[in-house]
Copies of this chain bind each other. A is one copy, B any other.
Amino acid sequence: MTPFLSPLGPSALRDAGIPAPWSFGMADRVRFGEIDALNHVNNVAYLRWYETLRVNYLNEYGIYTLAGENPKFVVKSVGLDYKAEVKRDTSYINVTRTVSMRNTSWRMEYATFVDGKITTTGDCVAVLLNQDNTKRSLPDALRQTFVTRDGAEQL
């Protein structure tokens, strides 16, 4: 088996020094193309990282299946808070969890850890749509997954 980049669950995250309640993560190393003229990871790169993380998370939790037939997921809003710069070749772990749900949307939080310290945090609100862009209520089994695995709160 080739060592593909694997998602990290709660116990792997704890082993890496990342505290509860973070429940899902991906480790990687900063790439040359993510560095900008200021010689640190460009602001925009984090949003790309968190997109990749979110898609991996949704895949791994089975959300694409639990969402019913032909679901469409869109991002309603995102926020990023940059606390410390990250340099070339640095190893990091990006983590996420779903913190709350409404009728058709849910809120995820993100963080980037370098050597056990948070360098950037973020959040997003994602919405479940039908293919015609009308909203779809989150199915119960999908809600239950967010509650059981992440301790998400129903608002």
Contact = CB atoms under 8 A, between A and B. Distances in A.
Given A4-B28, A4-B91, A77 B81 contact: yes
B5 A12 contact: no
Contacts of A88: 37
Interface in A82-141: 82, 85, 88-89, 91, 93, 133
A47 interface: yes
Interface bin, chain A: 35 or more
A28 to B, nearest CB: 6
A27 interface: yes
**Chain A interface SS verdict (over half):** mixed
A43 B47 contact: yes
A89 B59 contact: yes
A132 B29 CA distance: 25
Nearest to A80: B78
A144 interface: no
Interface in A6-62: 6, 8, 12, 15-16, 27-29, 31-33, 35-39, 42-44, 47-48, 51-52, 55, 59
A79 interface: yes
A125 to B, nearest CB: 9
A81 B76 contact: yes
B52 A33 contact: yes
A140 to B, nearest CB: 26
